[in-house]
Structure 1
């Protein structure tokens, strides 16, 4: 048997660590009476036999059967037990992680009423923090020795792109209308993402859309349409295309015909840049994103009834909502146990995976439009 740990604490070495596990592999002997030091913007969760048990907030804690009630019950320890016990400790970083990047690794399909299926690229940044340590460990971290913001960023990127694609498919008929609805898109997508983040014990603080861009061939079509609008009185698009062809032919004339070529090129549109400006929608309650102010207040808001709840409480005294959540149903959002296969509230398969019926691409839960082929994942509700 190894030497029992007497002091348990953790420092974030680079500002990117979200979770650190002691020990990194297996479990270790922890001395009863050991000092657990949890800093502000941290939480500590004790695990035994793969189950999350006691959760500690900021402060210096002397481990005993009094402040480890769940672990004491699981191990059937007598009152005043002083021998070492085996467990794992997860330290969770509760600070806000800013400047997380999202974007399309590959262009996503969008059905445009005027241009047909168009593949768009989009990118931006977001910030988030952990609000439910046990739920976060159970859903994203698992048994890993460490979990960084880069790993969370890589997974959440796909969720963000899926929700953005859903909104575009439901509410935007053509990319020509994107600029005038950009603010609406940012607000609506952030609202939708809030539910997705809460399923993993996270809160989305900021969401920024930096750009949405079409591929070069679509960009050329947009430029041509802008040029046709500049010419004005052409009967149809084909006449404009014929005039453009003359200009392209003139561009191939030698140096002696350069001035003539320049004359044939008159009337062409200058082109339409399609890089969209970034829009900002910030959280209106900055105090709720500051762990230090939460600690000073001594309470947090219940996510169901918004009543003030003591930091150490496991249930809301007003509505009974469970404050420490192990898992959530992807359909109804109700709390379920970590081992549950089906939701006790709606009966949905908690572990089911959604796939596009056309191209079989695996998609995040509740996705409505496939990011690969642009088809509706399920028939629209009448």
Structure 2
């Protein structure tokens, strides 16, 4: 008579097979010991059969009905039979980390298409040992803890994408949608986990962040927005320049009169120059019927290249290309070239 048991000192192993490779030789009358929070599942020929809960069990045809039906006459005596026993941990597994292996492409309500990363924690528990062994061990060929958790993480990541698509918000406000995201993911993941004999007990989003490239694009967009009112920007710069006069005078000491006066003259010249630019910009805006300051008022063709549009807007061709890619500026692609109408640019400036 042999004793069949497994004690997990860490409590973190989801499933353990006995023997660890191949199949074992067991006899009727052998003792099966199942620990608290464990279930023992007899597995043979790729399928889970009889399940035992916590306690000491003497193997007999009465408590191995499914396996006895398959093996038939073997159970008429003490003849050994070959099978594998899987000890399944029925505890709740808490604080399991998840994250997106690759950035998620998300349609942002403000910035267009952006790339985001997400991570958080989840908790799960095996609630049907027989189904779990059939689907995970038999169906997926997984039985190490790392392999099983990686598989569950992949299910979460797949469910995250369609759920995020329903948020219809900006990355700037997406943290306010975490409860909605949590509920949506738990609903999708719950159905898939249940089919594996697993219950998802909790799911949390710790952070959703833009990739470095997306963060840089958002910063550039914010900077453009900050100087969108060119008149206010010029006023601010003029005030800074004039303020420099006082600073120069305050830092000048005895024997430094010439430097102070030079600094004051430079500050005054800068102030006057910016003041004149500001006045010119205001006058230009008034004469143009409120046309956005920053776009060239020179004669330009009705249809422009990237470079011409950049000169018209007084930005770089890359900036114009970014606006086109983001869908903010309408353009027509002809082969590898882009053509932008003057009307499209004016529509963008008025938006």
> Which residue in the other structure is 1:183 paired with?
179
Matched, 1:55 2:39: no
- Scaled by the length of structure 1, the TM-score of the pair is 0.56
Contact 2:94 2:123 (8 Å CA) reproduced? yes
> What is the CA distance between 1:9 and its match in structure 2?
0.3
> Which residue in the other structure is 1:104 paired with?
100
> Which residue in the other structure is 1:33 paired with?
29
| Counterpart selection for 2:161 from 155, 159, 165 | 165
Matched, 1:22 2:47: no
Matched residue of 2:107: which SS?
Answer: strand
For 1:217-236, list aligned pairs within 5 A: 217-223=213-219
Distance, in Å, in 2 between the alignment partners of 1:121 and 1:205 is 23
Distance, in Å, in 2 between the alignment partners of 1:84 and 1:241 is 90
Gaps of 5+ in 1: 251-255, 265-382
Q: Which moved more, 1:131-140 or 1:54-63?
A: 131-140
Q: Which has the higher helix share?
A: 2
| Counterpart selection for 1:44 from 22, 40, 47 | 40
Matched residue of 2:21: which SS?
Answer: coil
> What is the CA distance between 1:124 and its match in structure 2?
0.5
Matched residue of 2:148: which SS?
Answer: helix
Cα-to-partner distance string for 1:88-138 (whole Å, 9 max, x where unaligned): 111111111112110012211112233222110110111111112122222
Matched, 1:147 2:118: no
Contact 2:74 2:81 (8 Å CA) reproduced? no
Cα-to-partner distance string for 1:352-381 (whole Å, 9 max, x where unaligned): xxxxxxxxxxxxxxxxxxxxxxxxxxxxxx
Matched residue of 1:76: which SS?
Answer: helix
Matched residue of 1:186: which SS?
Answer: helix
Gaps of 5+ in 2: 242-247, 249-262, 275-351
Cα-to-partner distance string for 1:136-168 (whole Å, 9 max, x where unaligned): 2222233969521x2222122222122122111
> What is the CA distance between 1:61 and its match in structure 2?
0.5
> Which residue in the other structure is 2:188 paired with?
192
> What is the CA distance between 1:37 and its match in structure 2?
0.4
RMSD: 3.6
Structure exhibiting the larger radius of gyration computed from Cα positions = 2
Aligned residues: 246
> Which structure ranks higher in relative contact order (CA pairs < 8 Å, sequence separation ≥ 6)?
1
For 1:44-83, list aligned pairs within 5 A: 44-77=40-73, 81-83=77-79
